[in-house]
Chain A
Amino acid sequence: EDKVVQSPLSLVVHEGDTVTLNCSYEVTNFRSLLWYKQEKKAPTFLFMLTSSGIEKKSGRLSSILDKKELFSILNITATQTGDSAVYLCAVGPPTGNQFYFGTGTSLTVIP
């Protein structure tokens, strides 16, 4: 059965800290991995990683994909209170357009 596991489940840091969120997956015929940010409302899209794009960066956020070891990490540097949210990882196989989501990592950034 396909499975996506995120760690840690929750994290509390101080402003300015750097955090690393993990996503490991066991998905048949992997095609793409997505990262989302969810702040008490709908998830918002952050990054998509595929075999042709294994590293993405946007401002203080960056993500890499290791297709051999079947995991991805999301890094956030110089964290701010606005980064407080649940971060979701989703992995999709090449057919059926079905994505499997992890349960998320809850990040709290303290001033």
Chain B
Amino acid sequence: DAGITQSPRHKVTETGTPVTLRCHQTENHRYMYWYRQDPGHGLRLIHYSYGVKDTDKGEVSDGYSVSRSKTEDFLLTLESATSSQTSVYFCAISRGGYEQFFGPGTRLTVL
């Protein structure tokens, strides 16, 4: 398995609270991604990074922000969580934009 970890693995929070999810890699890959997976929608890209401090939006970026201050860490922040952000969040890494390797996922529930 690619060296990708996500934390926390499970989180329950309340509407309006800030939440930060962490993705950590030991592969030194340049590209990192955050996806959410919901029934009927498959995997949808939230944000991605192509280097330290270089990030860009995906198709469902509203309500989310990201930061990458080190190659190995990519943080996803929900500034004010809403129930519509209840989902499973996957981090992925890639060397050159081709095959992506996924982390174990974080199950987030917003009450």
Please give the residue numbers on chain A whose beta carbons come within 8 Å of chain B beta carbons, in ascending order. Answer: 32, 34, 41-45, 48, 88, 90, 92, 96-104
Contact = CB atoms under 8 A, between A and B. Distances in A.
Q: Which of A48, A97, A104 gathers most chain B CB within 10 Å? A: A97
Interface string B33-76: 00100001111110010100000101100000000000000000
A111 to B, nearest CB: 27
Interface of B: 31, 35, 40-45, 48, 50, 56, 58-59, 90, 94, 97-105
Contacts of A96: 56
Contacts of B35: 101
B104 A41 contact: yes
Nearest to B58: A98
A90 B35 CA distance: 13
